[in-house]
């Protein structure tokens, strides 16, 4: 899977030297896919840096999975982690304070904190919450932020926002699907049919109660992904000429509901999936 807009390459090259100039690093990942949305490149270049992984969008992630991830990061990877919702000021400030408290500095000197993360994880939203006003542009499409900017906060903290970065080759295939289903990479980067099946299978296997709650007409619950998409398509009027189900439309509807949290609090991966993935990057 290849999805690598030009400005990201430039960012990656600048990132290494930028990290060397700051006191601490706040990596924002998506709580629903905290490993797939972590950047392995950062792991390699940020050793020894004061750092924190923010599992953002915890408000729409499965709380049990989030808890398991927090234990995983704090224990196995030794990259301190906290789960937050970007629009809740208390949660965001608390995480920043705990990171800055690790920085060894004279209080007269500004603490420089850099916010990094792959596209669409909520970096700009976090920055706006910290600043208490709109300083960064947000959006639900990947790669909205294009230029680095600095914002001065209270308590002598300067925060640096960076454009979304992403590694050029997304492996293994499962990671690409997880990223695409969350909206972190463009839908067009993966085979849409495969993506729809992945989403439907995840819901059937792990979140059947969410499916029934959102789509009460699913009774009994279909056993197969294809049948699920077809039933939702029929019930929601995603039809082509002649009354046949429009699979593309039906799949889009399910993925939209899944992404937005309308299907409930759902996580796309748990620490238990790691061995299955055989992820060589981490």
Instruction: Please identify, among the stretches 135-143, 203-211, 213-221, 222-230, the one whose residues bind ligand GTP according to the rule CB under 6 A.
Output: 135-143
For residue 143, state whether it binds ligand GTP (rule: CB under 6 A). yes
**φ, ψ for residue 262 (rounded to 5)?**
-65, -20
For residue 138, state whether it binds ligand GTP (rule: CB under 6 A). yes
Of 29 and 245, nearer to ligand GTP (C-beta) is: 29
Instruction: State which H helix or E strand residue 194 sits in.
Output: helix 192-206
For residue 22, state whether it binds ligand GTP (rule: CB under 6 A). no
For residue 144, state whether it binds ligand GTP (rule: CB under 6 A). yes
Provide the minimum distance between the beta carbon of 137 and ligand GTP in the complex, in angstroms, as a whole number. Answer: 7
For residue 139, state whether it binds ligand GTP (rule: CB under 6 A). yes
Interacting residue with ligand GTP among 43, 59, 191, 273 (CB under 6 A): 59
**What SS3 state is found at 52?**
strand
For residue 140, state whether it binds ligand GTP (rule: CB under 6 A). yes
For residue 122, state whether it binds ligand GTP (rule: CB under 6 A). yes
Which residues ranging from 152 to 181 are in contact with ligand GTP (CB under 6 A)? Answer: 164
How many whole angstroms from its chain centre is CA 155? 28
Interacting residue with ligand GTP among 11, 66, 124, 251 (CB under 6 A): 124
How many whole angstroms from its chain centre is CA 79? 17
For residue 267, state whether it binds ligand GTP (rule: CB under 6 A). no
Which residues, other chains included, contact 205 with Cβ-Cβ below 8 Å and sequence gap of 6+? none
Which residues, other chains included, contact 125 with Cβ-Cβ below 8 Å and sequence gap of 6+? 56, 86, 87, 136, 138
For 158-184, b/e burial (b = at least 16 CB within 10 A) is ebbbbbbbbbeebeeebbbbbbbbbbb
* Alpha-carbon radius of gyration of the chain: 20
Instruction: Please identify, among the stretches 41-49, 52-60, 196-204, 266-274, the one whose residues bind ligand GTP according to the rule CB under 6 A.
Output: 52-60
For residue 81 the two structure tokens come to: 């982690």
Interacting residue with ligand GTP among 66, 121, 267, 270 (CB under 6 A): 121
- Residues near ligand GTP (CB under 6 A): 56-57, 59-60, 85-87, 117, 119-125, 138-140, 142-145, 164, 261
């Amino acid at each position: 899977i290849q999805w690598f807009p030009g400005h990201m390459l430039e960012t990656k090259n600048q990132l290494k030297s930028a990290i060397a100039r700051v006191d601490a690093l706040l990596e924002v990942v998506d709580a629903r896919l905290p490993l797939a949305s972590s950047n392995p490149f950062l792991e390699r270049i940020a050793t020894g840096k004061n750092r924190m992984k923010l599992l953002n969008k915890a408000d729409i992630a499965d709380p049990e999975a989030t808890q398991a991830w927090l234990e995983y990061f704090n224990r196995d990877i030794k990259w301190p982690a906290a789960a937050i919702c970007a629009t809740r000021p208390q949660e965001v400030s608390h995480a920043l304070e705990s990171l800055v408290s690790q920085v060894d500095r004279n209080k007269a000197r500004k603490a420089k904190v850099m916010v990094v993360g792959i596209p669409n994880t909520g970096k700009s939203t976090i920055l706006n919450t910290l600043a208490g006003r709109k300083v960064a542009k947000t959006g639900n499409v990947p790669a909205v932020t294009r230029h680095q900017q600095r914002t001065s906060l209270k308590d002598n903290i300067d925060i640096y926002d960076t454009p979304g970065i992403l590694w050029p080759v997304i492996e293994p295939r499962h990671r690409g699907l997880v990223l695409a289903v969350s909206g972190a990479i463009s839908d067009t980067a993966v085979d849409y049919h495969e993506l729809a099946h992945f989403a439907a299978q995840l819901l059937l296997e792990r979140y059947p109660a969410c499916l029934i709650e959102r789509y009460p007409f699913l009774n009994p619950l279909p056993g197969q992904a294809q049948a699920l998409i077809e039933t939702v398509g029929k019930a929601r009027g995603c039809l082509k000429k002649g009354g046949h189900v429009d699979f593309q439309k039906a799949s889009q509807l399910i993925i939209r509901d899944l992404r937005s949290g309308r299907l409930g609090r759902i996580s796309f991966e748990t620490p238990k999936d790691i061995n299955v993935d055989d992820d060589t990057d981490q």
